[in-house]
Every structure is written in C-alpha cells, then in structure tokens.
Amino acid sequence: MRKSLVALSVLAATALPSLANAADYSDDIHKNDYKWMQFNLMYAYKELPRSNDAHTGHDYLEMEFGGRSGIFDLYGYVDVFNLTNSDSQDKSGSKDKMFMKFAPRISLDALTGKDLSFGPVQEVYVATLMNWGGDNGGVNNYFVGLGSDVNVPWLGKVGFNVYSLYDMNAKDWNGYQVSTNWFKPFYTFENGSFLSYQGYIDYQFGMKKKVAGLNTSNGGAMFNGLYWHSERFAVGYGLKAYKDVYGLKDGGIAGKTSGVAQYVSLSYKF
C-alpha cells in the first residue's frame, strides 16, 4: 500500500506521465494512461498583486485534475473565489469570480513512437497553457512552446516548460515564460501516509513595457509547499514568493506585486 500510495500521490500532484527513466511508447502509447481529480478548500493570505488598502485574504474552492491518455498529458484546475460572498475578503470587489488554468501537452515520444530521451531529459512535449479569468476582457492568455520531464537529483522527475505568450485580448505576442514543477515525498509514516515538498516556479521575461508605471519586462513567482498526504486526504501549507508578478511593476499602478503570501489547504482525492 505504501508504494502505491506514494506513486498515486506523485502522479496526482504533478500530472507527470510516467515513473520510468525514459519514455518508450513503441509497443503501446496508452501503457502509462491514468487520471485523477481532487477538490481543495483553500485560504490565501495577502496574495499578490494587491492594493495597499485591500483586505488580508480570501477563501476559494479549487477543482484540480489531470492525467494521461496516449499522446496527451493534462493538468488543470478551476478556482471559485470568496465562497460566502463576504465583504471582508480581498476578492469581494473582484469582477472575476472564477479562474481556470488548462495545460495540455503532447508527447513527441508517443507521437513519433521513438524514445527522444537524452541525459536527464526523460520525455519531450509540445507544451501549451491557457489562463482564463471569469470576466470578459480579463485574463485571457495562451502559451505555446516546448516541454520536458527532467530527472533532477533528490527531487526526482520535474516538469520543465518554456513558452511564448500570446495575449488573446490584445491579439499580440508578449514575451516568454519558463515554468517548472516538482513533488518530493521525503518522509513516510508507518500507516503509508507521507510528507512531501511540492511547488512550482513561473517566470516571465521579454515582455513589453506597454504602460509606464504599470509594466516591467520580467517577473514571476515561486511556490514552496509542505503537505501531508494520505490515500484520500491532504493538508498543506504554502509560502509563495513574488517579484513583479505577471510583469507588473511593484509599487506602481497595480499596487504591491513583490513580496510573499501564505496558503493553507485541505484536499479530498477522488
């Protein structure tokens, strides 16, 4: 049970397709298929960007999902903010009640039937990412580029993607993004539950400074999470560091865009 629980939770947290050292799909492209879904009840404290007079935080419900089917690798989530419509949360005045991230990748190894691994790179993808807000004219971005699964010492398999960003609202290409994610179980209890270090980095660069006092050419965020996992539940704490996040200038028109935020979560796995 312990090994299966660790493997299942690794897949669920990272949406990475295979636990093998290299991806060989010459015999069956569906041999690594899987799917997963979980609901996360979360609270974000001082999430950025934020205005100086904003309330301290907000709750939200997140449906997180992913899996693998043949050539397709998928990760995504849907967030619903301020569940009780409280006036004392920093999302109370937001036009966006929801946010969705949808990140399908196409495996070039599975598509070509060839093992394209080299060095620490275990599998190669065409990587895409869509970010959608719940308000017309709000967040509406599309990313496309190359992705990979890379074997990193101690961390194990890490997702690494490099994208070009297309702003669907402006109908214009605007810079690039490097994204990576990881999931590392580091202590297992006798009952099979375990502790993990999990997180991600999203860093944008080469962006246009369209509005003085609003935009910068680069910026990003890093999430570091400590989680306890069982077969059905997870409880976690996360610390997220920001630097001019989304290419918004800290202290400018967008308010505070650099600093740290804290997150707590309770999850149920289906």
**Tens of pLDDT, residues 130-149:** 999 987 767 899 999 999 99
Average pLDDT over residues 162-185: 96
Residue of 166, 121, 133 whose CA lies nearest to 22: 121
Average pLDDT over residues 194-221: 95
Decide if pLDDT at 126 tops 90.
yes
Residue 5: which pLDDT band, with cuts at 50, 70 and 90?
very low
The helix/strand/coil state of 81 is: strand
CATH number at residue 264: 2.40.230.20
Say which residue, 14 or 67, is predicted with more confidence.
Answer: 67
Residue of 124, 246, 267 whose CA lies nearest to 198: 267
The dihedrals phi and psi of 3, each to the nearest 5 degrees, come to -65, -40
Asked whether residue 114 is assigned to any structural domain, the reply reads yes
Asked whether residue 54 is assigned to any structural domain, the reply reads no
Decide if pLDDT at 9 tops 90.
no
Asked whether residue 91 is assigned to any structural domain, the reply reads no
Residue of 148, 183, 147, 146 whose CA lies nearest to 11: 183
Decide if pLDDT at 14 tops 50.
no
Mean pLDDT (the chain) is 90
Both tokens assigned to 59: 């709750």
Average pLDDT over residues 217-224: 98
Asked whether residue 27 is assigned to any structural domain, the reply reads yes
Q: How many domains does the chain have?
A: 1
What is the percentage of the chain residues whose pLDDT exceeds 70?
Answer: 92
Domain boundaries, position 143: 2-40+64-80+96-269
Sign of torsion over alpha carbons 50, 182, 71, 269: negative
Residue 21's pLDDT is: 59
Average pLDDT over residues 161-175: 95
Decide if pLDDT at 77 tops 70.
yes
Number of H helices, E strands in the chain: 2, 12
Residue 2's pLDDT is: 37
